[in-house]
Amino acid sequence: VFKDKDFIRALKSSIVFNLLDLAVGFPMPIILALILNELRFPRFKKVTQTILYLPHFLSWVIVGSVAYQMFRPTTGMVNVFLMNAGIIQNGIPFLTEKWHWAVTYLLIGVWQGMGWGTIIYLAAILGIDQEMYEAAEIDGATRWHKIKCITLPLLKSTVITMTLLSIGRIFYSDFGLFYQVPMNSGALINATNTIDTYVYRGLIELGDISMSSAACVYQSLMGFALVMIANWLTKRYSSENALF
């Protein structure tokens, strides 16, 4: 499988996009959970949570269709708005050029996944003893001080656990996001060809079972190795937060 140039390209794309997603998308659910926790109007809070969670339950076919309507090079809603506002003269190729696609990928991925990830962190925040916040208020702590000195330190174990799980998926990718959203565009075939789409194309289009199987085995072994290494490092510096 390492003699196949398409696989090497897919491997590089998987790593690069997952690292970008880890850097940009991973902090968003934490920030969102902190914001939601600070809302003081229960009805508004519930409505906001529902709106934020909704994208997770949408099929990638629907998300891909919406993205196509929004980001088409000349007639997409975003480009039409920017051109009418005089910000740009020509449409931006969000879905047909690899560098613009990278930005589009991050935006769509964050939008689709941040609401669901927020549930975990919000549940961890709600489990914090409220007496700690009351004691902090008596000492004159502001909201920012309570977040900085109570909420974030007590979220440490949850953040570490989610980080370990995310590291284990660096060699994986969301098939729907890389195949359905760009609609298998030939212009983006090199940028969107990750290990998951490589395996799919190898099986469905080429019928190469052995090559696809080899790619899957490599993907699984590397994911396992990364989790073990990350857990070992965590155990070395903070043993109580390690997975095992």
For residue 119, pLDDT over 70 is answered with yes
Contact 146, 155 (CB under 8 A): no
pLDDT at 217: 92
Angle between helix 195-204 and helix 5-24 axes, rounded to 10 deg: 140
Which whole number is the average pLDDT over 31-46?
Answer: 87
Q: Name which of 112-116, 185-189, 226-230 the model is least confident about.
A: 185-189
Mean pLDDT taken over the chain: 85
Q: Where are the alpha helices (DSSP H) in the chain?
A: 5-24, 27-38, 42-53, 60-71, 77-84, 98-126, 130-138, 143-146, 152-154, 156-167, 175, 189-192, 195-204, 209-237
For residue 172, pLDDT over 90 is answered with no
Which whole number is the average pLDDT over 106-116?
Answer: 86
Which whole number is the average pLDDT over 64-84?
Answer: 84
For residue 41, pLDDT over 90 is answered with no
Which whole number is the average pLDDT over 236-244?
Answer: 78
Which whole number is the average pLDDT over 208-213?
Answer: 88
Residue with tokens 């980080």: 163
Residue with tokens 């990928």: 105
Q: Would you say the pTM of this structure is higher than 0.85?
A: no
Q: Name which of 152-161, 167-176, 179-188 the model is least confident about.
A: 179-188
Which whole number is the average pLDDT over 28-56?
Answer: 88
pLDDT at 240: 79
pLDDT at 184: 66
Largest CA distance in the chain: 68
pLDDT at 59: 84
pLDDT at 30: 92
For residue 4, pLDDT over 70 is answered with yes
Which whole number is the average pLDDT over 123-135?
Answer: 89
Contact 179, 192 (CB under 8 A): yes
